[in-house]
Amino acid sequence: MQSASTGIETSAKHRTSVSAGPDRPAELSPVYRGRFAPSPTGPLHAGSLLAAVGSFLDARVNGGEWLVRMEDLDPPREQPGAAADILRTLELYGLTWDGPVLYQSARTNAYEQIVGDLLSKGLAFRCRCSRSEISAANEAAGRSSGNYPGTCRRLVVPASEEHAVRLRVSDTPVAFTDHAQGPQASVLSDSAGDFVIRRRDGLAAYQLAVVVDDGFQGITDVVRGTDLLDSTPRQLYLQGLLDLPHPRYRHLPVIVTAAGDKLSKQTGATALPRDNPSAMLHKILGLLRHPPPRDLASASPEDLLRWAVTQWDPGRLSGMQHIADPEASELPSG
């Protein structure tokens, strides 16, 4: 079936299998509700600011709410004080959010209940495969190294044994229309295979937590980078199993380095400057193809964002997968 409002197609069997838990919210209101969900693994940089500004503007131009969710589910990678630093940076750049910040670390009971429900219904299974074993199995079969080969799909792995939990996927295409990148389709059994929803260390995996919390918070619109475009079919599939509404999706281009890699902490991205946030906002709005006029050269971040709300036209970014960082010495083609 297909939602007329979102252009998302799923098979009927994906719809009514598992409840999303006792704290499941009421049905989505027609009001726009967006979110920005950083991970506290370090300070915000230009790439994360671009995503934050894009999602903020899209929410405000639609008269909607803009929430902040802290994806603090990976303690080994988190930096002390990073969450508070991210919030202070957003405020410094004029990006004010609605309501309290949701910390995913406070939601572990909800994730655990849903994993248990999926296991009990046979929609998920325990997997004891290591990454090296998965890679070796794929290499032997001539498959992509990123696909799960299904080794534990028909096995009964005891709960007492160290394991991850994977969601069983089907060969039914998951199709949706992204509001920036156009029509998309993926057969999960071919593109990813059964994917992890709880890690071997017992932590909820990103794909599970983001779906559960988008449903819990009543998110209607997800605006984020194209680096997460291939995660969307997995999230749509899981939303269907949990009988959760499908948000609308808009994947903005990401900033890339001279080598063509996504700008990130791993590729040398530096923390956003604190001394002149307006200058960085000018740069980000320019990269989003909304360069401010000269008479706003000395405007405050708040005034810049107020102007940008009146001008926001995400259609200027349609089909763009990446944006070359103008500070890079070499620019990738395409």
Q: In the prediction, which pLDDT does 92 show?
A: 98
Tell me the mean pLDDT in the region 18-38: 63
Nearest to 253 by CA among 281, 225, 222: 225
Statement: 12-24+31-255 belongs to CATH 3.40.50.620 = yes
pLDDT at 332 over 60: no
Average pLDDT, the chain: 87
Q: In the prediction, which pLDDT does 328 show?
A: 47
Domain boundaries, the chain: 12-24+31-255
| Confidence category of residue 316, pLDDT binned at 50, 70, 90 | very high
Q: In the prediction, which pLDDT does 145 show?
A: 64
Please report, for residues 48, 72, 173, the alpha-carbon distance to residue 253 in angstroms, rounded to integers and kept in the order given. 11, 24, 25
Residue recorded with tokens 């506290």: 40
Instruction: Give the whole-number percent of the chain exceeding pLDDT 90.
Output: 73
Q: In the prediction, which pLDDT does 155 show?
A: 92
pLDDT at 149 over 90: no
Side chain identity at 124, as an amino acid letter?
A
Q: In the prediction, which pLDDT does 12 show?
A: 28
Please report, for residues 88, 187, 193, 198, 233, the alpha-carbon distance to residue 145 in angstroms, rounded to integers and kept in the order given. 40, 17, 11, 20, 19
Q: Are strands 182-186 and 174-178 parallel, antiparallel or unpaired?
A: antiparallel
Q: Mind giving me the DSSP string for 23-38?
A: TPPPPPPSS-EEEE--
| Confidence category of residue 28, pLDDT binned at 50, 70, 90 | very low
Q: Higher pLDDT residue, 179 or 25?
A: 179
Q: In the prediction, which pLDDT does 132 show?
A: 86
pLDDT at 181 over 90: yes
Q: In the prediction, which pLDDT does 263 show?
A: 83
Tell me the mean pLDDT in the region 194-206: 96
Nearest to 166 by CA among 102, 122, 225: 122
Instruction: Give the whole-number percent of the chain exceeding pLDDT 70.
Output: 87
Tell me the mean pLDDT in the region 104-109: 97
From 23-27, 31-35, 245-249, 285-289, the region with the lowest mean pLDDT: 23-27
pLDDT at 203 over 70: yes
pLDDT at 101 over 80: yes
Q: In the prediction, which pLDDT does 269 show?
A: 80
pLDDT at 27 over 50: no
Tokens representing 89 are 């940076």
pTM, to two decimals: 0.87
Q: Higher pLDDT residue, 267 or 304?
A: 304
Tell me the mean pLDDT in the region 200-207: 96
User: What does the alpha-carbon distance between residue 173 and residue 25 come to, in Å, rounded to a whole number?
Assistant: 28
Q: Mind giving me the DSSP string for 66-114?
A: EEEEE----GGG--TTHHHHHHHHHHHTT---SSPPEEGGGGHHHHHHH
**Residue 140 CB burial class (10 angstroms; 0-12, 13-18, ≥19):** exposed
Query: 199 in helix, strand or coil?
Result: coil
Is the CB of residue 255 less than 8 Å from the CB of residue 47? yes
Tell me the mean pLDDT in the region 271-289: 95
| Biggest alpha carbon–alpha carbon distance for the chain | 67
Q: In the prediction, which pLDDT does 67 show?
A: 97
pLDDT at 13 over 90: no
Tokens representing 200 are 């071997």
User: What does the alpha-carbon distance between residue 317 and residue 6 come to, in Å, rounded to a whole number?
Assistant: 19
For residue 80, the cross-strand partners are none
Tokens representing 331 are 């620019």
Q: Higher pLDDT residue, 149 or 120?
A: 120
Q: In the prediction, which pLDDT does 325 show?
A: 73
Tell me the mean pLDDT in the region 75-81: 92
pLDDT digits (tens, 9 = 90+) for 44-75: 999 999 999 999 999 999 999 999 999 999 99
Q: In the prediction, which pLDDT does 5 show?
A: 32
